[in-house]
Amino acid sequence: MSRPFFTTWSQQSSDPLFEILEGQGARFRTHEGWWLDFASLSYQANLGHGHPRMVDAIKRQAEKFCLCLPNHTYPAKENLARRLLELAPPGFDKVFFTLGGSEAVENALKIARLVTGRYKTISRYRSYHGASMGALSLSGDYRRPPLEPLLTGALHALDCHCYRCPFGKVVDSCQRECAQQFDHIMQLEGSESVAAVFCEPIPGANGVLIPPDGYWRKLREACDRHGALLVADEVLTGFGRTGRWFGIEHEQGVVPDMITMAKGLTGGYAPLGAVLVHERVSKMFNDQKLYCGLTYYGHPLSCAAGEEALAIYQEEGLIERAASLEPLLRSGLESIAAAVQGEEADVRVRGLLGAIEWRNGTEPKWASFFTTLSQQLKRERIHCYPKIDTGMMVIAPPLVIEESELREGLERVRACVVSASDHMAC
Ligand X SMILES: Cc1ncc(COP(=O)(O)O)c(C=O)c1O
Which residues of the chain form contacts with ligand X (CB under 6 A)?
100-102, 105, 128-131, 200, 204-205, 233, 235-236, 262
* Per-position DSSP letters for 74-140, written without gaps between them: -HHHHHHHHHHHHHSPTTEEEEEEESSHHHHHHHHHHHHHHHHS--EEEEESS----SSHHHHHH--
- Name the minimum Å distance from CB 419 to ligand X: 30
Nearer to ligand X, 332 or 354 (CB): 354
- Name the minimum Å distance from CB 41 to ligand X: 11
Nearer to ligand X, 265 or 356 (CB): 265
- Name the minimum Å distance from CB 417 to ligand X: 25
- Name the minimum Å distance from CB 201 to ligand X: 9
- Name the minimum Å distance from CB 421 to ligand X: 29
18: amino acid identity, one letter: F
Nearer to ligand X, 269 or 369 (CB): 269
Nearer to ligand X, 39 or 400 (CB): 39
Q: How far apart are CA 144 and CA 130, in angstroms?
A: 10
Nearest CA to 394 among 254, 257, 219, 203?
Answer: 203
CB 48 within 8 A of CB 26: yes
Q: Which residues contact 235 (CB under 8 A, 6 or more apart)?
A: 101, 104, 105, 129, 130, 200, 260, 261, 262, 263, 273
Identify the bridge partners of residue 24 per DSSP, sorted by sequence position.
27
Nearest CA to 81 among 317, 250, 253, 282?
Answer: 282
Q: Taking the mean position of all CA atoms in its chain, how far away is CA 189?
A: 29
Strand order in the sheet with 345-350: 345-350, 353-358, 392-395, 385-387
- Name the minimum Å distance from CB 121 to ligand X: 14
Nearer to ligand X, 131 or 209 (CB): 131
Nearer to ligand X, 322 or 420 (CB): 322
- Name the minimum Å distance from CB 410 to ligand X: 23
Q: How far apart are CA 214 and CA 305, in angstroms?
A: 36
Nearest residue to ligand X by CB is 101
Which strand (E) or helix (H) includes residue 199? strand 194-199
CB 382 within 8 A of CB 409: yes
- Name the minimum Å distance from CB 314 to ligand X: 23
Nearer to ligand X, 156 or 226 (CB): 156
- Name the minimum Å distance from CB 235 to ligand X: 3
Nearer to ligand X, 98 or 372 (CB): 98
Burial of 363-372, coded b for 16+ CB within 10 Å and e otherwise, reads eeebeebbeb
Gyration radius of the chain's alpha carbons: 21
Nearer to ligand X, 236 or 333 (CB): 236
Q: Which residues contact 401 (CB under 8 A, 6 or more apart)?
A: 25, 26, 48, 325, 352, 409
CA distances from 86 to 122, 186, 356 (A): 29, 33, 35
Nearer to ligand X, 270 or 345 (CB): 270
- Name the minimum Å distance from CB 418 to ligand X: 30
Cα 308–Cα 268–Cα 43 angle in degrees, nearest 5: 125
